[in-house]
Structure 1
Amino acid sequence: MARPILLTLTAALWAGSALASEDIADKYPQSVLYNKPVEVIPNVWSSIGATAPPTYENAGHNNNLSFIITGDGVVVVNSGASYKLAEALHAEIRARTDQPVKLVIAENGQGHAMLGNNYWIEQGVPVLAHVDAAHEYEREAGQGLQALQNYAQENAEGTVPMAPTLTFEDSYDASLGDFRIEVLHLGPAHSPGDTQVWLPEQSLMIAGDIAFQERMPPIFEGTCTSCWIETWETAFEPLNPTYVIPGHGHPTNLAQVRRFTRDYLVYLREKIGEHLDEGRDLSTAYYVDQSPYTHLDTFEELATKNAGVVFSEMEWE
């Protein structure tokens, strides 16, 4: 492996991330995709979504849609937030290879990972998800479709919620062609059924939403932040990937996602812990100091919400 070349490429991608901004409406106006796919390492590509909430301008492409050209077919990570986004990603794949798509893997049960399922299933491609993510999608798909129709308007056309066709519990061997591909559920983290795609021979992790770096991690009601930290420290970090494609934002390295995911969770829990020790309540917990993270995209949308959720979690620990 030409490691110096790959390190240079990763450095270039990270340098380019300085251009990432939730204020940029669309970086690839020729396509419904927000961004043209980039080759992260040889034969591993990612179309990097907006680091902003879903809007009409970004058509709901605010997560990363990745694919691996294996030599014996293509493995896609994330169906996309709509039929049209899945179709657009497929067009980009076809522009780069004649190899057929043989598997789609969903990183979790959110709409941006699976509302494009029906496009891929229509092509005869199996869609794989963790069993917990499949259950989450079943519960939330109707609401997710309604939200998509509201903001994406005509770009929601053709989208019909369909369940994944395959599920797994702990791990799934998706190896194909020249790539050993391990589909992993390392433990509880951001949302039910969080899934990671690990390429051990390339030391590359398509991390999904266990890892963030350019936008603030969202913490949902029901998220166990102490569990997320434990999963990170005992299962994710020991794999020691050289390259990380996070769920949102540019490809980077382990140190960056640790700084803005694990370290953020630890920091926020410490601040909320101090708040509780002082006998203060939820009404003021929303405003604990999160100033080290104000530069992250979606800070304005998420910081106070995150603090409130962590307060509710820690109040009963």
Structure 2
Amino acid sequence: MMRRLALIALFAGPAHASEDIPDQYPGSVLYAKPVEVAPGVFSAIGATAPPTYDNAGHNNNLSFIVTGDGVVVVNSGASYLLAKALHEEIRAVTDQPVRLVIVENGQGHAMLGNGYWVAQGVPVLAHAEAAAEFADGSGQDLAALQSYARENAEGTVPTAPTETFEDRREIVMGGLRIEVLHLGPAHSPGDTQVWLPDQGVMIAGDIAFHERMPPIFEGTCTSCWIETWETAFMPLAPALVIPGHGHPTDLATVTHNTRDYLLDLRSKIGAHLEAGGDLAVAYYVDQSQWAYLDTFEELATKNAGVVFAEMEFE
């Protein structure tokens, strides 16, 4: 417990993210330089804006764990060049080799950098459902990357993970226990969490959002996401959560910005359906209490429409 409390005190965190800042690390293709957010755990915090030329697609968190007997990377990055830039930052921190890359889901910003790591001889681990989603969508992901990132997409070739898992994988490296978990359905197929139980640190992936609004995809089961959060994620009681997007924070804060947002939107859409409301008006249910979250303007109405379609026949 004392170690967990010390960890909370250690990470006061930088200022809140802002989608109005185009690039925080002009000397690198990375949006921000990796910082040590817990002992031996580093994260390059991505932009809270959508992917753009300025942020080169680095709008999620790219993390790595220095274990004493090698480095574990969490997320390949959105391109070959982002993966390469992250590797350069790792080499500036430690001489230890990267021994494993774990990807949080099947989206392009997690997996399009796989090719770089595989070329270095590093295995890439993904949940089986995430690997399948990437196989289906990687062509579109690459086309989108090439459209917005232009020359920063150079060298990127969609490359499948080299290993998959189903429920969990436990790794012991340099005396450090690392649990690779799929706690249940959440944001997208095969959502993966990397849990350091002895440190109380959760690299949560896209089950968890902070400082920006969670996007809700067609096919996302928001009731399942809430259930996974309440029955599997919260009971682990992490002292520090590194979300998929936004700065590391505590469990209460990330719960408010993720689960509570989903609960509120489902409540508003449910009331709208009970009153006989249609889709055209559902887009504009009141989400103003969440306007402080980045990407609110881009996502609020879209999310409402997706949740209306989900709940209409529940």
TM bracket, shorter-chain basis: over 0.9
**Which aligned segments of 4 or more residues in structure 1 are displaced greater than 2 angstroms?**
1-9
2:299 corresponds in structure 1 to: 302
3-state SS in 1 of match to 2:215 = coil
1:54 corresponds in structure 2 to: 51
Separation in 1 of the partners of 2:7 and 2:233?
22
Residues 7 and 240 of structure 2 are in contact (CA less than 8 Å); yes or no, is this contact kept in structure 1? no
Whether 1:8 and 2:6 are equivalent positions in the alignment is no
Whether 1:189 and 2:186 are equivalent positions in the alignment is yes
1:314 corresponds in structure 2 to: 311
3-state SS in 1 of match to 2:43 = strand
2:88 corresponds in structure 1 to: 91
Once the two structures are TM-superposed, the CA of residue 6 in structure 1 deviates from its matched residue by: 2.4
Number of residue-to-residue matches in the alignment: 313
Separation in 2 of the partners of 1:17 and 1:196?
25
3-state SS in 2 of match to 1:95 = helix
Choose which of 27, 32, 35 in structure 1 pairs with 2:32. Answer: 35
**Deviation sequence 1:276-298 (CA, Å, 0-9, x none):** 01001000000000011001000
Identical aligned residues as a percent: 75
Q: What are structure 2's unaligned runs of at least 5 residues?
A: none
| Backbone CA RMSD of aligned residues | 0.9
Spell out the pairing of 1:76-155 with structure 2 (5 A cutoff): 76-155=73-152
Q: Normalising by structure 1, what TM-score?
A: 0.97
2:208 corresponds in structure 1 to: 211
1:264 corresponds in structure 2 to: 261
Separation in 2 of the partners of 1:242 and 1:303?
29
2:228 corresponds in structure 1 to: 231
Separation in 2 of the partners of 1:131 and 1:194?
10
Q: What are structure 1's unaligned runs of at least 5 residues?
A: none
1:253 corresponds in structure 2 to: 250
Spell out the pairing of 1:267-286 with structure 2 (5 A cutoff): 267-286=264-283
Separation in 2 of the partners of 1:105 and 1:117?
10
**Deviation sequence 1:184-232 (CA, Å, 0-9, x none):** 0000000000000000000010000000110000000000000000000
**Deviation sequence 1:28-74 (CA, Å, 0-9, x none):** 00100000001011100000000010000000000000000000000
Once the two structures are TM-superposed, the CA of residue 2 in structure 1 deviates from its matched residue by: 5.0
**Deviation sequence 1:131-189 (CA, Å, 0-9, x none):** 00000000110000000000000000000000000000000112211310000000000
Decide which moves more: 228-237 or 173-182. Answer: 173-182
Residues 282, 3 of structure 1: alpha-carbon distance in 2 compared, 3 angstrom cutoff = closer
Question: Residue 88 of structure 2 aligns to which amino acid in structure 1?
Answer: A
Once the two structures are TM-superposed, the CA of residue 3 in structure 1 deviates from its matched residue by: 4.8
